[in-house]
Structure 1
Amino acid sequence: MSRARGTDAEAAALRYLERRGLRLLARNYHCRLGEIDLVMQDDSTLVFVEVRARADARHGGAAASVGPHKQRRLALAARHYLMTHPRAAALPARFDVVAISGPAGENEPEWIRAAFDCAG
């Protein structure tokens, strides 16, 4: 995926989630352990969001591309975020995926709440 397509997908996901009441805390949070596309707050829950865009559904589509390796990297980056943002660490947290399939803007994003669990 091109950098421009990734940026467009993140912007679309952000607009989509903000329209549903989530509040942006950080965008493209990165540390040496990984990167989180969007860190948001949904009422009193901290939400780490992975945005995935795919032109078509071959190979399982956008949501299926967040496999175990990517989940581990996201969990490590989330732990780093929590260590550096103590107020956020007091909130319950979850990992969501926003999947954008097809040409940009053609399909409604698919928001998968609590897409995976990184307990432990």
Structure 2
Amino acid sequence: MNQKGSAAEEWAAQFLQRQGLTLIARNYHCRFGEIDAIARDDTTLIFIEVRWRRRASSLLLESIDLRKQRCWRLTAQHYLAHHGFSAHCRFDVLFLEGHHCHLLHWLQNVGLDSVSRGNY
């Protein structure tokens, strides 16, 4: 990961904690891919992707293609299977832009297929 990507993920981690979420993991890797952050609130386990762009773009959602969605889903299933969580889950995406990582949008509960343990 490049230096700016690391800075964006660090900004995102601090932002999520300020929002009251408990950060469980960062840069979770498995054979299926990577999830930038995993957090929880009182009832939900949240898998978070951080998308940073130098300049704001109208194509933010288009940057999340079907292949990427499949990798997130499989990586989340892997995490659930290997860490014993049975909480409700959701996928969020933080869109950041600019040198100082301004939050453009926090897209919560993006519409990926449901995640359940062991279905990969």
> Scaled by the length of structure 2, what TM-score is found?
0.87
Cα distance, 1:102 vs. partner?
Answer: 2.2
Where do 1:40-119 residues align within 5 Å? 40-58=39-57, 60-61=59-60, 63-86=61-84, 88=85, 90-105=86-101, 107-119=102-114
Q: Distance between the aligned counterparts of 2:7 and 2:50, measured in 1?
A: 10
Contact 1:16–1:109 (Cα < 8 Å) also in 2: no
CA deviations on 1:36-87 (whole Å, 9 max, x unpaired) are: 10010022100000001011234613x431221111000000000001011x
**Match for residue 4 of structure 1?**
3
Q: Which amino acid in structure 2 is aligned with residue 78 of structure 1?
A: A
The answer for unaligned runs of 5 or more in structure 1 is none
What are structure 2's unaligned runs of at least 5 residues?
116-120
The total of aligned residue pairs comes to: 115
| Identity among equivalent pairs (%) | 40
Output one character per residue of 1:85-114: Cα deviation in whole Å (capped at 9) or x when no partner.
11x2x1000000011022233x23521101
Q: Give RMSD over aligned pairs.
A: 1.7
